[in-house]
Structure 1
């Protein structure tokens, strides 16, 4: 089979598409023919050895996939050949075949296509955990979403709206903000505008947002936090900007505000039942047409580096998908 292989730490250009032996499932594993795999920002960091999860070289990147069960291990009871499944794994998804532990997969919901199924676990799981578990978002509150046109940003907009919140989307171009409007944003702010904090103040009646969802980091973080509402909650999602901000601790003191870390991968590992309940709610919202992943590009294995670079340079909107069988 063909697979994208990371043989040395480095940028996406260092990845290779290789022919490797077909895989065989262990007793509690499922062998999946991958139809679609989602690209996520952590994938870009992992191949450069810049993430908290560090696989041994060589490895195949990619953590989420949709596909068809080809074979199962002797101890697998709930899946059989031919089943359509979604898998969330540490790595291995950018390949024509994927081995996944049986506890890491679940059936594709009826009516969900392959690309959508490959795009819903990490981004929507992260945003749901952030907004509803960590921030305890309530109907009527206002959420500021930074990096709002990205995968987790679009998911955050839709989940906040499904909860009954008001959403202010912040992104770096009119084109990106137009995508945010398509997915339900109430107000849009271009944070390249010099007066973006004044726009934010006006949009919240000088009160500031109740929740700030930040997957970007960098210079925007402190500026956004200075605008947060009393008892506001600031969600640390990631650092797509490349810079980890250093927020002065007098700011949460003065605002009675909280800084909340969001590590969905460890949440899945530590609290699998809570994650399953979240996924069930997301599937319900999908059927109610309250959420719909925005897929802006589909790529073959040979174009994986191109796609990952679009994500790394923040030129992509929504989700990018790898189609290994193409």
Structure 2
């Protein structure tokens, strides 16, 4: 038998989640069984449980968009993985469980020496950051990229990945105490996400071409990013933390011909080939192994204390991600 977290109906994660016992069935064909070890609590996970995610939940359901664990058993036809391999699921659902069972194609093998907590957070935020920097516009070493929500999981990953690529970053944040923290992480410039911060960034960036801005907030924050972008620049929206719609002043389309794109990394995973997946995962894995990509952790909480974990994940002022210990 095995235990998982499941919700019988959508609602407040701290109230509707429950520990459920389920049987482990014999493996067939290309199936593998993974003993899951750690899984982070992401905003997307909370939205999924609440019923506010881009894909509808169909309770009872097991949440969890990412995690990591070791293979404990394989089916008779498995060829690419072995018992004992450390893997991350590529399914994008069902990771909040002690055991996951799926075909071998839905898992990516990682080197055994990688930190398991960091590996559990590889699939969503670092991959989103890599995609933002590599798949929308062509950025050369020494060029600048802008983002709001610089202290978010994606924002911190983008700062570190950009630094490894020689790309300079301007990040906007809501709290002044975050500025030295992000600079220590490798950010080239950090400003408050208000009119004063906008003015300071405009002065710093004067004379530089600004091709790309990553938007996770919307509302006035996104308008400021569009104002800073150069003509023909691209705004990629991957989140809506302010819960305010993206409103585009006509002048940005008429006189600057800005390009507006969206990114939902879950959809990209569904469409990406194996070669495309490893093109992204391999450099990020190397960065984690070398300590060049580190995701901050607030607390590791046992699955049995899931209510406290959900409450903590919904609080502001955390020092990083809340991680579920699934063992």
Deviation per residue, 1:246-283 (Å, 9 max, x gap): 22354133223221211222222212222221111222
Query: What SS is found at the alignment partner of 1:226?
Result: helix
Counterpart for residue 228 of structure 1:
229
1:83-162 correspondence to structure 2 within 5 Å: 83-162=85-164
Q: CA RMSD in A?
A: 2.2
In the alignment, structure 1 segments of 5+ residues that lack a partner are: none
Per mean C-alpha deviation after superposition, the further-off stretch among 16-25 and 42-51 is 16-25
Number of residue equivalences: 324
Q: Distance in 1 between matches of 2:291 and 2:19?
A: 39
Q: Secondary structure at the match of 1:47?
A: helix
Please say if residues 90 and 108 of structure 2, whose CA atoms lie closer than 8 Å, have aligned partners that are also in contact. Answer: no
Q: Does structure 2 conserve the Cα–Cα contact (< 8 Å) formed by 1:23 and 1:98?
A: no
Q: 2:44 aligns with which of 42, 45, 48?
A: 42
TM-score (norm 2): 0.90
Instruction: Quote the offset at 1:115 in angstroms.
Output: 0.1
In the alignment, structure 2 segments of 5+ residues that lack a partner are none
| Offset, 1:161 | 1.2
* 1:149-204 deviations in Å (ceiling 9; x for gaps): 1111111111111111111121111333333223210111121x441210111221
CA distance in 2: counterparts of 1:177 and 1:305, whole angstroms: 32
- Give distance in 2, aligned partners of 1:12 and 1:134: 34
**Cα 1:83/1:55, change in 2 over 3 Å:** same
Q: 1:189-244 deviations in whole A, cap 9, x for unaligned?
A: 121x4412101112212657432111222331122212212332211111122233
Cα gap change, 1:164/1:13 in structure 2, threshold over 3 Å: closer, same or farther?
same
* Map of 1:257 onto structure 2: 258
TM-score by length of 1: 0.90
| Equivalence for 2:270 | 269
Report SS of the residue matched to 1:292.
coil
Deviations 1:59-82 (A, max 9, x none): 111011111112223332222322
What's the counterpart of residue 238 of structure 2?
A: 237
Change (3 A) 1:135 1:52: same
For 1:283, the equivalent position in structure 2 comes to: 285
Of 168, 171, 196, which aligns to 2:170? 168
| Contact map agreement 2:226 2:252 (CA 8 A) in 1 | yes
Q: CA deviation at 1:313?
A: 5.2
1:317, distance to aligned residue in structure 2 (A): 4.8
* Alpha-carbon offset, residue 311 of structure 1: 4.4
